[in-house]
Structure formats: structure tokens, C-alpha cells
Structure 1
Amino acid sequence: MSPRLLWTDWTIALGFLREGRVQSLMITVGVAVGVAVIVFITALIQGLQANIIERTLGTQSHIRLLAPDEINRVLPAAPGTVQLLQEDKRAQRLRSINNWQQLLDTLDRLPQLRAVSPVVSGPAFARRGDAVVSVALTGIDLARYQRIIPLSRYLVDGRLRLGADEALIGSVLAEDLGLRVGMKLRLETGEQQSSVVNVAGIFQLGVRELDARYVYLGLKQAQPLLDLPGGVTVIDLTVAEIFAAERIAERVGRLTGLKAESWIQTNAQLMNALSAQSLSTNMIIVFVAISVAFGIASVLSVSVVQRTREIGILRATGATRPQILRVFLIQGALYGLFGAVPGCAAGYLLVWVFNTYGPGLFQVPIPAMLVVPALLLATLTGVLAAAVPARRAARLDPVVAIRYV
């Protein structure tokens, strides 16, 4: 197709649009409203999902590596005998991951992982005077753990420091035991181990259960308290692509021989909620696109009827059926494109109004990448909506069309 012929098609299509200014304006406004709804709803759902994920994953790792479960070893039956076996699952004791230092070196080199942190954790009792509270004792390498959970962001009092005989405790635990920064706390484990620590800082993760139970110690201080000198019970990992955590966990599990649990596996209900939100967003986009398509198709159908005589004259003067088809397809594309531009602007304006004057529960990001898909979707919708009217216009007999009144 020559550029000159294509330019002619564009000129005719623009001429038709200018002749029906009122119709063109109305359908353009309709497309703009549809695109604005798509942009705003998409941005809103993305912002809501990002907020939920940040609140959920802000206090946990993306992947946890643990030692494989211990299983019972059954001795084979003696030759010529029948063995009847009733097996109970073996109770899992607190134990260390074998060769965890070497595993850290291997995991640090994997490009899919952003952070790797060894952790030793187990149950303990926190005692102050006559008050005793059950806590989750967690020994960490603070520099590494900060890349998993940024404790500095959640610190509400004291200093982020885990020196010898120092601990970080949750705000609810501090309130329950009447503790302040600088006061002492006794930690006792079931292995008859105990230690008196100074409260170096108080954090607030925003989850009451965690703020009421978590006590952070240095890794080397927590290991003997849990009767695991030199050992770790968990290796926490974070990944760049959080929704690929399940696939990466399977790969890391095969590589290390450890049991790998991703956040997707441990937060199945959250994933169901996110999937439902994404599905609802896609359904809204589809229904809005369908309504926009019907509007464009209706206007072009009326345009074909109104311009039957002009189409007949074009055919009589040498315009081919494919050329008439292209003229109306171009009209549909222009309706979509001209409506999408102000629609995108209106969508971003709605996002700004929500962020500025909304309830303030969370901020909706304004992703620039939404513009291109919105323009493409509106233009493609216009072309598809114009297909039937364009085909009808191309099939008009020129003699009959010229006689049309």
C-alpha cells in the first residue's frame, strides 16, 4: 500500500469525523470516561495490592529454609516373616541446619535472591519479677536481617543494637512487662538455660501477635540459650520478584536439600484475595471495553447510513472496497485514540484527587506505564468495533448507494 493512498484514506476518515462533530464529540467523551475508569480502577487495585503486600511481607521473609523433617527409620522384616506396622509421625525437635555457613556462601551467589539471613529461633519465657510471658526468641545477624526486615523502620524507642547481653523487644511485650529502654529482662528456655539482658530498643511491627512475643538477640547470644551452639534453625530469603517466590523456593529447595516455604504457601488466603482483586479488575476492564466498543459501533453504523450517498460517490469515482473498509476502520481507531488521551489525563486526575483528598488509608501510585496499554486498548477496541460497520460500508453497491435518499 502506497503512503499516498493511505494518506488519502486518513483524509477521508478525518473529513467524516469533522462532518459529524456532535456524534464524534459524544463518542469521544464516552471513550474518555471508559478509559478514565480503567486507569483509575487499575491504579487503585495495584495500590491496594501493593499496600497489602507491604504490610504482610514487611514483617516476614519471602522464603524460609528449614531442616528437613525427621522421619522414622523402619528396620526390614526378617526373612520369611510378615511385618505389621503402625507408624506415628515423629515429633520434630529444635535442631540446626547442617553446614549452614557453606549454604550461605552458595545462596549469596544466586542472582534471584536479594538477601540471605541465618536465624536461630525457639520458644522461651520472659520474666520480670513475678510476671512470666511466653515469647519467641530470635537470634539474628543484625546486618543481614536488616535486609530481610528493616527493623530500623519499626523502632519506636531506644537504639537498633544487639551487642552482648542486649535485646530488642516488641512494644506490646514491653507494655505487658512494664519495660523501658535500659531495663533488664530475664530470658529462660526449656533447656534450663537463662540469661539476663538489657532492653536496647523497642520495636512496633504493627502486628499485635509479633509485638507481644518477639524478642531479638544477637545470633551468638541466642544459640547457647536454645542449646544450639553454632547452629541456626532457619535461613530467611528475600527475592526480587515476590510472585515468583514459589518457583524460586522449589529451585532453592532442590539445590540445598532443605525444606523451602514461600510466602505464597504460608499466606494462601492472602493470595486468594489478591487473585480475586486482579480478576475483578480484569472483569471491569473487559466490561468497560465492551461498552465502549458498542458505543463506537453504534456511531459508525449510523455514520454508514448517513453517508451512504457519499460512499456511493467514492465507489463510483474509483475507491475500492478495501479502501472504504480502511476509512471506517481508521475512524474507529481515531475515536478510540482521541478518547483515550483525555481519558488517561482524567484517570490520573482521579488518582491525584484520591491521594490528596481521599481517606488516606494508602497511597495509590501513578504508574506511567498505564498510559501506553490504555491507548493501545482504546485504539484496538475502536478498530474492532468498527469492523462490522466498515464491512457493511465496503459492501454497498455504488449505483444503489448514489440513489439513496
Structure 2
Amino acid sequence: MRTAFWIENIRQALETLASNRLRAALTLLGILIGVAAVIAMVAIGRGVQHYINAQFAAIGTNLIFVIPQAATEGGTTGAALQDISSLTMRDVQAIERAVRGRTTAVVPVVQRFGPIESEGREAVTVILGTTPGYAPARNWRPLYGTFLEESHILNRSRVIVLGLTPARRLFPELPNPVGKTVRINGIPFRVIGVMSDKGGSAFGDYNDLAFIPLPVAQEILYDARDRRTGDLLVTGIMLQVARAEYSDEVVRTITEVLRERHRIRFQDEDDFTVLTQFELISIFGQISNVLTIFLGALGAISLLVGGIGIMNIMLVSVTERTREIGLRKAVGARRRDILIQFLTEATLITMLGGALGTVGGALLASLIGVLSRGEVQAAVGWDTVALAVGVSAAVGLFFGLYPAWRAAQLDPIVALRYE
């Protein structure tokens, strides 16, 4: 019996909407736009989060970066290494001893932006002096040749490993330039490898790098000795922890070792910064969440406007159908029946708007994915669909309640006399 009652209410609601198609369509449009905006923004927010995680996964896994404080303050481009770095090879060795067993790699780095030349061509790129542990820590393999080896470090060999970007600029006609010679500051280097495609993103082109042995970078290219102590300087230290749960402990150990070695007093600020990959992911994740909430709020405003439109249209409908309401009450309809009838109409139109808005939001999210060339995969989950339909139904109930209550309260005698 109750099933037949609800079926009849839905049938009547559909007939009423069909008899006022333009009004129903305009009312539905506000809900459709609001739901589509919310769906698209949630989907895009998730896609951006997945994209950020993928970009950091491309950098490597379980990484910790130690950099001089001056390097985080800007304005260091072209500055002498002695002016921007407080980290030395002795620091690297002390850290390596302190974190032994909890890390799989401790990699010192010296880097500078500069030109590489070969046969009249030039590629301006980031030149990294580093050790053989860099490539495994970054989950990066050579496409041709090999990466740096221990013998290159011990012998101070003038060899270089090119990323794909400088390799293509210097040797556009050669797929494999291994064995060729390039020059940095006039010093010849033999190409021993070309790295595989690491991709690129908003964070930069990961392939735009070149690698040379650390001692060569320190002693031949960059004058990387501390003016006071004579210790060899580095521009950063990269560590890979054996397990993610070791990260906090390793960060504490690094901080303690460096503060003690640099004689930093209790209340003084560090002259270095320790960043973990997890912190960077969290920072970018928080930014994307804020943007998602902000954009979702714009969609919610549209839903609110649509809800007000529904209330307005339902109030007009109550006025237009006053005689009908009086007639139904005269033949035995109860207040509850009238209330349910008008609530059914309001809920039905918002749920139709929610369903169409879900489709529209999914299409909009797919369009964003296409425009981003597949980098942002904005997927609409079932939980998002359920949320959209549920919210649209709630909007219909909330904004349809007052018009339905007004209809239910009409006096049948007064209603029958209404012109």
C-alpha cells in the first residue's frame, strides 16, 4: 500500500514538472550547475593529489634533503659556494656514521647552473657533482652507457653522464652520444652515459641535468673549499632512509650532528634546513586541499542559489494550485498527503538536477584531464556520486519544506474560493 502511495506521488510530480517544462528546466539548471561544479572540483582535487604523489615518486622514495639555510632564502644564483654553503664533506661523513643502518644512501651534491659545449653547440643545464649512490636513490637508470662509478670518484676522472635534455641539445643527430667529448669551462669531459627519461612537471624538467664526479666538481670547477678551514664544501646532502618509519629519527639525528659540528648554541637558529619527502608531499597536498575546498565552495554557492530558486518556484506553484489543493482536501486528502506531494516534487527535481550535474561534472573533469594532456587524471568515484545525489536531495527537502508546509496549511474552503 505504501509503495503504491509513493509511486502515485512520483507520477503526479512528474506530470506537474512536465506541464511546466521551461520553469522546471530553469529550476533544474541551478542545481545541475552547482552539482557539476562540486563533482568536477572534487575529482580534479583528487587528480591533482595523485599527480603530486606521482611527481614526488618520480624524484625517488623515502628521501631526505639537507641544504644550507642560505639556499632557502633566494638570491644565491651565481654566488660563490663559500658564501651560500655551510655544509662540508666532514659533515657528510659524520652524518653517514650517525645514521648507519637506517639509510641506504648518503649522497653529497655540488651543483651549479652552467653551459656545456660540444662541436659548436651549447646546452645550459644544471651540472651536478655527485657520487654513484645518486642514481639508485632517485630510482633512475641510464638509457645508454653507465652512471658514475667508484673508480671515477677515486681517480677524479673527467667523465660526464648527460640527462636526455642536454644530450638532445648537444647531439641532436645522435641517439647514443656515449664516447663523445664535451667541455665545461674549457675542460674536456668524456660522455659515459645518458640517463633514461625521467619526465617533467610544474616542478621542472627532471631530464635537464648532467652529472660529473664529486671531486672533479669540487676541485676543478667550483673552488669548493671553505675559506677558513679548507674543508671541501657541498651544496646539499641527499639521504634515502631504509624504511619510511625511520624518517623522523634520521631527521633528529642529522639535526643533532650538524648543530654540534657547527657549534650552534641552544637558542640560535640552524644554518641548514632538513626537508623530508613526506613533508613536501604534505605541503603540496594541503595546498591542493585548500584549492579544492575553495572551488567546491563556489559550487556550493551555486547549489544555494539553485535551492532558493526551487523555493521560489515551489511557492509560485502553491499559489497557482491553490484550488487544486482545496479540492484534494475537500475529498479527504490530509495535510501530510499535501506536504509529501510538494516535497516529492521538490526532491525529484533536485535529484534529477543532481544526476545530470554528476554527468556534467564527470565530463568537465574528463575535459580537464584532456587539457592537461593526461597529467591530471580527474576520476569521479562512487562516493562522490553518492555525495552529489545525497546533497541534491537534501537541498530539495530543505528548500521545498516551507512551500510544502504552506500548501499543507491551506484552509480547504478558502482554497476552493481562490481565483
TM value normalised by structure 1? 0.62
2-structure distance, mates of 1:325, 1:121? 73
Q: Does structure 1 conserve the Cα–Cα contact (< 8 Å) formed by 2:183 and 2:189?
A: yes
CA offsets, 1:294-333, max 9 Å, x none?
2322221122222323333444555554453333333222
Q: How many residues align?
A: 350
Give the match for residue 387 of structure 2. Answer: 373
Aligned residue among 350, 362, 368 for 1:348: 362
Paired letter, 1:287: I
Q: Are 1:93 and 2:79 matched, yes or no?
A: no
Matches within 5 A, 1:225-374: 233-236=237-240, 253=251, 260-262=274-276, 274=288, 277-316=291-330, 319-352=333-366, 358=371, 360=373, 362=375, 364-369=377-382, 370-374=384-388
Give the match for residue 192 of structure 1. Answer: none
Paired letter, 2:64: R
**SS of equivalent to 2:358:** helix
The CA RMSD over aligned residues, in Å, is 5.4
Aligned residue among 107, 111, 120 for 1:119: 107
Q: Does structure 2 conserve the Cα–Cα contact (< 8 Å) formed by 1:39 and 1:374?
A: yes
Percentage of pairs with the same residue: 21
Paired letter, 1:278: T
Q: Does structure 2 conserve the Cα–Cα contact (< 8 Å) formed by 1:38 and 1:288?
A: no
Q: Does structure 2 conserve the Cα–Cα contact (< 8 Å) formed by 1:62 and 1:236?
A: yes
Q: State the shift of 1:285 in Å.
A: 0.9
Matches within 5 A, 1:2-401: 4-5=1-2, 8-9=5-6, 11-23=8-20, 25-26=24-25, 27-44=27-44, 47=47, 51=51, 58-59=58-59, 64=64, 66=66, 91-94=86-89, 95-96=91-92, 97=95, 98-104=97-103, 118-123=106-111, 135-139=127-131, 141=133, 144-147=136-139, 151-152=140-141, 158-159=144-145, 161-163=147-149, 165=152, 168-171=161-164, 174=167, 180-183=177-180, 198-202=191-195, 206=200, 214-215=210-211, 233-236=237-240, 253=251, 260-262=274-276, 274=288, 277-316=291-330, 319-352=333-366, 358=371, 360=373, 362=375, 364-369=377-382, 370-401=384-415
Q: State the shift of 1:379 in Å.
A: 1.8
2-structure distance, mates of 1:160, 1:318? 90
CA offsets, 1:217-266, max 9 Å, x none?
7x9x999x9999xxx943246999xxxxxx99768746986774246866
Residues 306 and 325 (structure 1 numbering): CA distance in 2 closer, same or farther, change over 3 Å? same
The structure whose RCO (Cα within 8 Å, separation 6+) is larger is: 2
Q: State the shift of 1:15 in Å.
A: 0.8
**SS of equivalent to 1:234:** strand
CA offsets, 1:44-102, max 9 Å, x none?
56546655675577447675254999xxxxxxxxxxxxxxxxxxxx9443413243232
Give the match for residue 191 of structure 1. Answer: none
Paired letter, 2:16: E
Residues 323 and 6 (structure 1 numbering): CA distance in 2 closer, same or farther, change over 3 Å? farther
Q: Does structure 2 conserve the Cα–Cα contact (< 8 Å) formed by 1:333 and 1:379?
A: yes
Q: State the shift of 1:289 in Å.
A: 0.7
**SS of equivalent to 1:390:** helix
Residues 374 and 31 (structure 1 numbering): CA distance in 2 closer, same or farther, change over 3 Å? same
2-structure distance, mates of 1:343, 1:400? 40
Q: Does structure 1 conserve the Cα–Cα contact (< 8 Å) formed by 2:241 and 2:247?
A: no
Which sections of structure 2, spanning at least 5 residues, go unmatched? Answer: 70-84, 153-158, 225-230, 257-272
2-structure distance, mates of 1:17, 1:208? 55
Residues 8 and 68 (structure 1 numbering): CA distance in 2 closer, same or farther, change over 3 Å? same
2-structure distance, mates of 1:339, 1:233? 55
Paired letter, 2:239: I
CA offsets, 1:113-151, max 9 Å, x none?
xxx75433235899999x99983323354785254xxx3
**SS of equivalent to 2:102:** helix
Q: State the shift of 1:22 in Å.
A: 3.9
Paired letter, 1:135: I
Q: State the shift of 1:383 in Å.
A: 1.8
Which sections of structure 1, spanning at least 5 residues, go unmatched? Answer: 70-89, 105-115, 189-194, 241-246
**SS of equivalent to 1:135:** strand
Residues 175 and 67 (structure 1 numbering): CA distance in 2 closer, same or farther, change over 3 Å? closer
2-structure distance, mates of 1:35, 1:283? 11
Q: Does structure 2 conserve the Cα–Cα contact (< 8 Å) formed by 1:140 and 1:216?
A: no
Residues 402 and 264 (structure 1 numbering): CA distance in 2 closer, same or farther, change over 3 Å? farther
